[in-house]
Structure 1
Amino acid sequence: MGKLSLDTFLDTFLFSCYNNRTPWDAPAQNKDPDADGSCKDGTDNGGAAAVITTGSARNPIELEVLKRKGAKYTCSYDEEKNAMNLALDWTLEHNRSSDTIICSDSLSLITSIENRQSNLREIIDKLQQLKGRTIIQWVSSHSNIPGNELADKYAKEIAQDGEPPVTPLSYNAARALIKGEIRDQAPSHPTISKTYEHLSFKEDRKIGSRRDAALLAQLRSGHCKELAAYRHRIDNSKDEKCPKCQFEAETQQHWISCPATILKRQRIFEDENLSLGVMTKQPELVLAYAKETFHQ
């Protein structure tokens, strides 16, 4: 096969199978690169490696190792790009016309190639120059896939070897550094600290609508107009007592422990004794509880 156009290349290049089988089941005897990048804590002292192997993918024969020392300040994505470039440079240098499989554990990089990201111009240009059929195969990291484990090993070795080169700081590396260094301090207010003690972005991402997310944030802060105590704070003519039990002010804590809604808590949470931490531990259930206890 000759040089592919960009459109043809992107339509035919990115496969997750090889002749309807994964590469691990194919009797490949060609020389194929495994590429991997590494950096400490995802932000500094990077390294990239590509391992050229032949034979069975389950029992590869290591032929050549390519390494590149990464920058002092970097990120995993940039080092994965470096590893891909190493693999492509080797493939181009050896003028491969037979089938080649390039394996990478970076799904974000492979997806970016497929989406023609502008910051991958160098990689896409090299891919256009390839001859033969080349398959980019995603593999799961740290899953005992031999070639990937070798690439990871050599990437870590070069990352720890010597002084890093002085290179301009990339946008991706700067973003990773900022994300790693700048963190919100733990809340000092006793009520808020209890409310947010189980904060999980994974759980919060399950909230399906902006309206629900806004209600949840208001409940967590206590600044929610559905709570009688808050309505009293902004208008002291309003009664602060709980409209359901009339026992005491309807604060966050009272709302999740009101004696008039015990049965609802038992049904929704399977527990009638809740702490403020439930606001972040079980946000979906908190919203379900809110929808059944407000506006009544």
Structure 2
Amino acid sequence: MARAQRAADVMAAWARKWKMRLAGSKTQVLVLSQRHEDARDIVLRVDGTAVKGTRHLHLLGVTFDRLLHFGEHCSRLRRKVKPRVAQLRKLTARSWGLQEPQLRTVANGYVRGALEYAAAAWLPAASESHVELLEREMRATARVVTGCPISTPRDPLMAEAGMVPVRARREALAVRLTATAASQRTDDPLREVAARTAPRRLRTTTGWRDVGREALTRLGLQETPVEERLHITLPPWSDCSGVAIRLDVGAAISREARDEVRRAAAEEHLATLPDQATWIWSDGSAEGGVASGGSGALITLPSGEERTTRTPAGAVCSSTRAELVAMRAALEEVQQLEDATSATPLVLCTDSQAALATLATGAGEQRTTLGAEIWRLLLAAPDRPTWLQWVPAHCGLPGNERADELAKEASSLPQAAAPVDVRSLTKAVGRAASKAWRDRWPDSFFRRIMRDRFPTPVLNETREDAVNVHQLRAGHWGLSTSYLHRIGRRPTPTCQQCEDLKCPAWV
């Protein structure tokens, strides 16, 4: 108490020096200790106002308690979410209401979004019994989305709704905060806090730093460098008129069209672009679309000289990010070959519509370091006309096939030094946590038909048909005679009216 009082006096003196007043009536005091006696009869004077210690402290929407078990906070969240689940329930029933895609969107944004407010800070420390309060509301939400009865087991129920339990989200949220801290500048306070190894005052509490480090260690990503976040965006008035981004090749081509049809359409469109230009064919590759990213590019100069680039894109990496890394590496190579005043046209061809769509939002709208760096390279030569052109993949275009080979070669390069973005790290840990949850599913009819995979959502069906599909797969179909008998709703003539516990309806 003496140390806390000295700190309060220093704070009050500093405020008076700078012509400010502390609001003692709004000041809260909470003692963090495993000894109940330590929190008894706590009174501090803050700028002349007596402030008594309380059992809970409210800060930015989060309720703290003495042991940081967040029991009161979880109870408050449950009371907040219950009306939302009730409102969601009014949007649908067994035979009418919103379709499943809309229900999932509302459930994730309206219910889970409220439960996970600032969850990266408190959920890793919350005790299991308190997290169970939130799990109950998520299961109630899942029953609304799927239409499954209350007797449906929790694992099939959550899987049918396309949701993972709150517990399975704990590691992903902790890693997101850990990686976000690592992406800050070296002198950033959040980064310093994340890197610090502080003595643990509460032996029963585990914070987000420990949970995040353990999750990354299990995946072998504890030493992976994190890409620094974008601190300064490009100005919105940047002149991007010299860069044309085309997401098609003229005529509409379906994915089912024959290779020669897609190749002919692409070649016809590419013939309209400048021949005397620097041509770049870039491609990205990622194992399963999520790991061992490789980026390759073929550069053909106006003189006919060819250059190639091979760049690792990260131990965990999406295909779109690998494509963007390939573009950046190729543009950096071209910048080294040409000066900033070069007016030689530039044509960059890629088979990733997602990567081009990310860049098509404009230079000032980029929210990642990678996207901003690509636009800086594109705008480095303001007098140079530039085309970013999408081409269909794997249809026999020589440049695209060569870039694909280079990307696959790059995926086998060492990935340890390649920086990874926060989003990729978070998704990798989330996939691992989701798989660990599915591996723990008990043996049942649902697991035998799903084989620890997430069931596909029921799309383009009536609400009644979607409910029937979910209930059938979960093994609790409300229209099944055997199910009704099992829960005691429809006894057979030989049944003992389900009053005896040995009746098959109770098994």
Specify if TM > 0.5: yes
The superposition leaves residues 160-188 of structure 1 with CA deviations (integer Å, 9 ceiling, x where unpaired) of 24564163553224414643684323966
Q: Does 1:223 align with 2:476?
A: yes
Letter in 2 for 1:102: L
Q: Matched residue of 1:13: which SS?
A: strand
| Residue of 225, 237, 248 corresponding to 1:16 | 248
- 1:85-96 maps to which residues of 2 (within 5 A)? 85-93=328-336, 94=338, 95=340, 96=342
| Residue of 368, 383, 395 corresponding to 1:143 | 395
Query: Deviation of residue 217 (structure 1)?
Result: 0.9
Q: Does 1:35 align with 2:282?
A: yes
Query: Deviation of residue 62 (structure 1)?
Result: 5.5
Question: Aligned pair in 2 of structure 1 residues 205, 152: CA closer, same or farther (>3 Å)?
Answer: farther
The superposition leaves residues 190-219 of structure 1 with CA deviations (integer Å, 9 ceiling, x where unpaired) of 53355447x896x64544466643332112
The superposition leaves residues 14-58 of structure 1 with CA deviations (integer Å, 9 ceiling, x where unpaired) of 35348x951156572322111122344444443322211257xxx
Query: Aligned equivalents of 1:33 and 1:155: distance in 2?
Result: 14
Query: Aligned equivalents of 1:218 and 1:211: distance in 2?
Result: 11
What TM-score results when the alignment is normalised by the length of structure 1? 0.60
Aligned match of 1:64: 307
Query: Aligned equivalents of 1:152 and 1:26: distance in 2?
Result: 22
Unaligned runs of 5+ in 1: 247-296
Q: Matched residue of 1:64: which SS?
A: strand
User: Looking at CA atoms only, which structure, 1 or 2, has the larger radius of gyration?
Assistant: 2
What TM-score results when the alignment is normalised by the length of structure 2? 0.38
Question: Aligned pair in 2 of structure 1 residues 46, 194: CA closer, same or farther (>3 Å)?
Answer: closer
The answer as to whether partners of 2:317 and 2:420 remain within 8 angstroms in 1 is no
Aligned match of 2:295: 48
Identity of aligned residues (%): 23
- 1:1-296 maps to which residues of 2 (within 5 A)? 6=238, 9=241, 12-14=244-246, 16-17=248-249, 21-24=268-271, 28-53=275-300, 63-93=306-336, 94=338, 95=340, 96-115=342-361, 116-119=365-368, 120-129=371-380, 130-162=382-414, 164-165=416-417, 167-168=419-420, 170-176=422-428, 178-179=430-431, 182-183=434-435, 184-185=438-439, 189=443, 191-193=445-447, 195-196=449-450, 204=457, 206-208=459-461, 212-234=465-487, 236=488, 238-239=489-490
Question: Aligned pair in 2 of structure 1 residues 193, 72: CA closer, same or farther (>3 Å)?
Answer: closer
Unaligned runs of 5+ in 2: 1-235, 251-264, 494-507
Question: Aligned pair in 2 of structure 1 residues 7, 142: CA closer, same or farther (>3 Å)?
Answer: same
Question: Aligned pair in 2 of structure 1 residues 160, 215: CA closer, same or farther (>3 Å)?
Answer: same
Question: Aligned pair in 2 of structure 1 residues 232, 69: CA closer, same or farther (>3 Å)?
Answer: closer
Q: Matched residue of 1:22: which SS?
A: helix
The answer as to whether partners of 2:243 and 2:378 remain within 8 angstroms in 1 is no
